[in-house]
Amino acid sequence: MNVLVTGGAGFIGSHFVRAMLADRLPGLEGARVTVLDKLVYAESFANLGPVAHEKRLDFVPGDVAESALAEVVVRRHDAIVHFAAGPDVTSNVLGTQVLLDAARRHNLARFVHISTDAVYGPIPTGAWSERAPLSPTTPYAAAKASADLLALAAHRTHGLPVTIVRPSSVYGGNQHPTHLIPRLATTALTGGTLTLLGEGAHIRDWLHVYDLIRAVALVLTDGRPGETYNVAGSVEIAHKDLATLVLEELDAPTTRITYVPDRPGHDLRRAMDDDKIRHDLGWRPRVEFASGLTSTVRWYRDNPDWWRPLTSD
């Protein structure tokens, strides 16, 4: 299989590419991979360092929203795994539509679109299933929801074999330090004060990146076209309790936590029901949160050369 991975130099995408080229994802052994990434913000070719010289890897620098580039790159592949995302409508909506159009013209066998639990919006109790209406709160979440709808419309109108993966909050090594867990860890490691929004009462369900890429591989090989699969983690925890756990991992005092005004549209609690992927594809999370958090914090402790340049002004 020849797989095009957009955003493959980012956090989740690079984990997926490295695992695929190491033949650690069942059903994808021997696959060739092309990474399409414009290398901005959280993306870096260094994330692909361990497989940079792998003969089965090609790297194409560029923007998924560039239709001429997408036309050239897509036609050489059997499947697309679309991780690429950005802060604006151009990246999330236009980029997705450009890829969908190219995939349809070249009759690709698979198109896996990576979404987010944020498209459902907040839920005070219980958990959203895939049948829940999309009700995004922020412009970013609205753009991702728009991309989801475009992907499903491509399947319903043109028969494009699209599947959607909606993960909960993802964590692990190599994640940019602007994200919560690496920000907490790197701030603690540099002796700074950990700032939390509002009262730190926001609740998320944490999913280790290894469990997510396993889910993506299953959806790529066995997912049903036109379906959406929620992928949830193993524990719900409030941000203030998460910050305490990170400080404890580093033997730092919990008095270093402070609070600042919340940002607009910040969902208080998000949670998803992932019974569908468990029942249909046999997926289960394998990384228990306590051990996953420990290994993640240790990764940042042991790799300051990777994250320090990203935190400098």
Mean pLDDT (whole number) for 236-240: 97
More confident call, 311 vs 240: 240
Q: Which two tokens stand for residue 291?
A: 């051990």
Domains of the chain, by residue range, sit at 2-169+206-231, 176-204+234-269+288-311
Q: Which residue, 182, 291, 287, is CA-closest to 231?
A: 287
Mean pLDDT along residues 133-162 = 97
Helices (H) and strands (E) in the chain, counts: 11, 12
Distance of CA 300 to the CA centre of its chain: 19
- Per-residue pLDDT at 279: 98
Using the predicted structure, report yes or no on whether residue 43 has a pLDDT greater than 90. Answer: no
Instruction: Tell me which residue has tokens 């997912």.
Output: 223
Q: What is the pLDDT, as a whole number, of residue 224? A: 98
Question: What is the number of alpha carbons within 13 Å of residue 73 lying toward its C-beta?
Answer: 27
Give how far the C-alpha of residue 100 lies from the chain's centroid of Cα atoms, to the nearest Å. Answer: 19
- Given a contact cutoff of 8 angstroms between Cβ atoms, the answer to whether 137 and 123 are in contact is no
Question: Do 33 and 1 meet the contact criterion of CB atoms below 8 Å apart?
Answer: no
At 255, the amino acid letter reads: T
Q: What is the mean pLDDT of residues 294-308?
A: 95
Name the maximum alpha-carbon separation found in the chain.
58
Looking at residue 42, its pLDDT comes to 59
Identify residue 179 by its one-letter amino acid code: H
Least confident residue range of 36-50, 73-87, 199-213, 239-253: 36-50
Give me the pLDDT at residue 88, please: 83
Q: Are 99 and 86 in contact (CB under 8 A)?
A: no
Per-residue model confidence as pLDDT tens digits over 252-286: 988 889 999 999 999 999 999 999 999 999 999 99
pLDDT confidence of residue 310: 87
Q: What is the pLDDT of residue 132?
A: 98
- Calculate the CA 135 to chain-centre distance: 20
Would the pLDDT of 201 be above 60? yes
pLDDT value, residue 239: 98
* CA 213 – CA 16 distance, rounded (Å): 5
Residues in the chain: 313
Average pLDDT, the chain: 95
pLDDT for residue 313 is more than 70 = no
**pLDDT of amino acid 39:** 86
User: Would you place residue 145 in the very low, low, confident or very high pLDDT band (cuts 50, 70, 90)?
Assistant: very high
Task: Tell which residue, 295, 284, 127, 286, has the closest CA to residue 203.
Answer: 127
Write the DSSP symbol of residue 15: H
Residue 310 structure tokens? 């990203």
Of 44 and 34, more confident: 34
Q: How far apart are CA 233 and CA 17, in angstroms?
A: 21
pLDDT of residue 52: 85
Mean pLDDT of the region 8-30: 96
**Taking the chain, what is the end-to-end CA distance rounded to the nearest angstrom?**
42
Q: Which two tokens stand for residue 264?
A: 């607009």
**pLDDT grade for 44, boundaries at 50, 70 and 90:** confident
pLDDT at position 86 is 85
pLDDT, one tens digit per residue, over 183-197 is: 999 999 999 999 999
Which residue intervals of the chain are DSSP H helices?
A: 11-21, 67-74, 89, 95-105, 139-158, 180-189, 209-222, 239-249, 275-281, 289-302, 304-311
> 216 and 16 in contact (C-beta within 8 Å)?
yes
Taking residues 235-263, what's their average pLDDT?
Answer: 94
**pLDDT cut 70: percent of the chain above it:** 98
Query: Does the domain at residues 176-204+234-269+288-311 carry the CATH identifier 3.90.25.10?
Result: yes
Q: Given 3.30.300.30, 3.40.50.2000, 3.40.718.10, 3.40.50.720, which CATH number is that of 2-169+206-231?
A: 3.40.50.720
Q: Is the pLDDT of residue 41 over 90?
A: no
